[in-house]
Amino acid sequence: MARKTSRSGLPGSVAILWLRHDLRLSDHRALAAALDEFGLIVPVFVLDESDENRWALGGASRWWLHHSLAALGAALRKRQSELVLRRGDSVSILRDLVRETGAAALFCGETHEPWLRSLTDAVEKAVGVPVHRRRVSTLFDAEAIRTKSGGQYSVYGPFARACRAQPEPEDPLPAPQSIPSPKRMPRSDALDDWGLLPKKPDWSGGFDTMWTPGEAGADKKLKSFLKDRLDGYGASRNVPGDPQGTSMLSPHLHWGEISPNQVWHAAKQAADRKKAKSGWDSFSGELLWHDFSAYLLRYNPEMPEKPLRAAYAKLPWRRDKAGMRAWQQGRTGIPIVDAGMRQLWRHGWMHNRVRMITASFLVKHMLVSWQDGEAWFFDTLVDADLATNAASWQWIGGCGTDSQPFFRVFNPVTQGKTHDPDGRYVRHYVPELKALPDRWLHCPWQAPQSVLGKAGLVLGRDYPKPILDLDRGRDRALDAYRKHVRGAKKGADA
Ligand SMILES: Cc1cc2nc3c(=O)[nH]c(=O)nc-3n(C[C@H](O)[C@H](O)[C@H](O)COP(=O)(O)OP(=O)(O)OC[C@H]3O[C@@H](n4cnc5c(N)ncnc54)[C@H](O)[C@@H]3O)c2cc1C
């Protein structure tokens, strides 16, 4: 049933809805709260590129944002409203908009990014009207998830159990049918003037083929995943060559075009219908990882910059300009790594299993700092999420509160053979290797000359020779770990 929206709001009274990572109209608790109390709503998005935010939007995120705002603007117009776009300092823009519209309150979603949290505090001080925050991007209220002694969880397992012991996430709210606006809406910038889309050369061709930013695109992705894929998700989520093995909802979730509540309830209902318990257990577990990353960032605002385990700050990271370029361009000579990095460049997204392999290769085999990898992912992912990206890089780097031990090094050849046994993924993104038999596809440098010849492949000409020896890279990483982390810890313990 459609929500009765403007009826209960005080006629003539204005509220501002400040949108950030919640670019949707359905299941939007800040919007619903504003409509409950106020008759007229002014939805605003501010592009704030202040220096305070070291993690300014990357190129891929800017592409997504452009299309997402366009979709949201169209959805608002269908509801007799309009999206007001402004660029600049959020504090002064929102203060001016409150004055101009006579708004009596400002509503926004709660965020976990440290800079956005302090910005919201600064806005609250400046605007002179109450600021109401509502949870819009996590399943559970971080404040409610506490250990028995009232502290915070630092390990995923107990965190997830504590979440599952909570009452179910709230039922999603439908989108309002109309969102009344004041007679004169404030002036808006033109989205095209913001220049969010890439200039020449335009690298976004492969994005268009894969993504439809906006609420409708998110809903379509969710439905198609739940229709066909939830049952086998536990296994298919580890097969990068299966284009529908995972939901591909991450950018939609990051930009808040769909809420985790909506995904949770829709998946639960589908799982109940299909009796897909194991699919549900794995998939809901991933949604809880999403909550856990936000939770970690909220309580560890330094997480994107500093290792959560201090001893890891001592690792002697290498500056390897040429190696870094090869990694970024997918030209390391290690096929599964190159396939992943090319997928990232082409589509702004990479499969989770391959994110782990490429990240481990950089941090361990290449001994390049996880922060360098984190920054590249942040610039190139359409789902670049400060919390999840930082938590995942720290997980790979062994330095998070709950992470894979540093001494466990993914072997990219074994990983490739296990998770891409028929080579579908590598052949798609590294077509130079197409004609190699499966046996050698993940380790072309080991293939006999006759096999390479038959495949028409000369290493170093058609495809790079590996930039490093995997065994030596692994040994160097373990040696650094023994000397600088384990040694440092022992020193600290003594
Ligand atoms: C080095 C590295 C960096 C990463 N950076 C990001 C990032 O910037 N943004 C981002 O959204 N994800 C990131 N991830 C997590 C994960 O790879 C993606 O969320 C996932 O691949 C998205 O695909 P999907 O939507 O098809 O996921 P599905 O498998 O369908 O999972 C559903 C949802 O659960 C959440 N999820 C899944 N896996 C994880 C995970 N490991 N940690 C936290 N949440 C998860 C996502 O919101 C995802 O959309 C990173 C992982 C690694 C190893």
Angle, helix 335-347 to helix 321-329, in steps of 10 degrees: 70
Q: Answer yes or no: are the C-beta atoms of 405 and 424 closer than 8 Å.
A: no
Separation CA 217–CA 107 (nearest Å)? 25
Tell me which amino acid residue 484 is. Answer: H
453 CA → ligand 1 middle, Å: 39
* Domain extents in the chain: 10-136, 138-173+212-301, 310-488
Please name the residues in contact with 321: beta carbons below 8 A apart, sequence gap of 6 or more: none
Mutational test site, ligand 1, from 378, 383, 419, max ligand atoms within 8 Å of CB: 383
254 CA → ligand 1 middle, Å: 10
Query: What is the homologous superfamily of the domain 310-488 according to CATH?
Result: DNA Cyclobutane Dipyrimidine Photolyase, subunit A, domain 3 (1.10.579.10)
Residue 152 φ then ψ, to 5°: -105, 150
Instruction: Assess whether the C-beta atom of 250 lies below 6 angstroms from ligand 1.
Output: yes
Q: Does domain 138-173+212-301 have CATH number 1.10.8.10?
A: no
Tell me which amino acid residue 244 is. Answer: Q
CA 67, 68, 72 angle in degrees (round to 5)?
120
CA 31, 94, 47 angle in degrees (round to 5)?
85
Which residue's C-alpha comes closest to atom 40 of ligand 1? 289
433 CA → ligand 1 middle, Å: 28
CATH label, 10-136, candidates 3.40.50.620, 3.40.50.150, 3.30.390.30, 3.30.310.50:
3.40.50.620
Encode pLDDT of 312-358 as tens digits.
999 999 999 999 999 999 999 999 999 999 999 999 999 999 999 99
pLDDT computed for residue 204 by the predictor: 84
**For the chain, which ranges sit under pLDDT 70?**
1-8, 51-53, 488-494
pLDDT computed for residue 489 by the predictor: 62
pLDDT computed for residue 378 by the predictor: 96
Separation CA 340–CA 240 (nearest Å)? 9
Element (H, E) at 63: helix 59-78
Tell me which amino acid residue 208 is. Answer: D
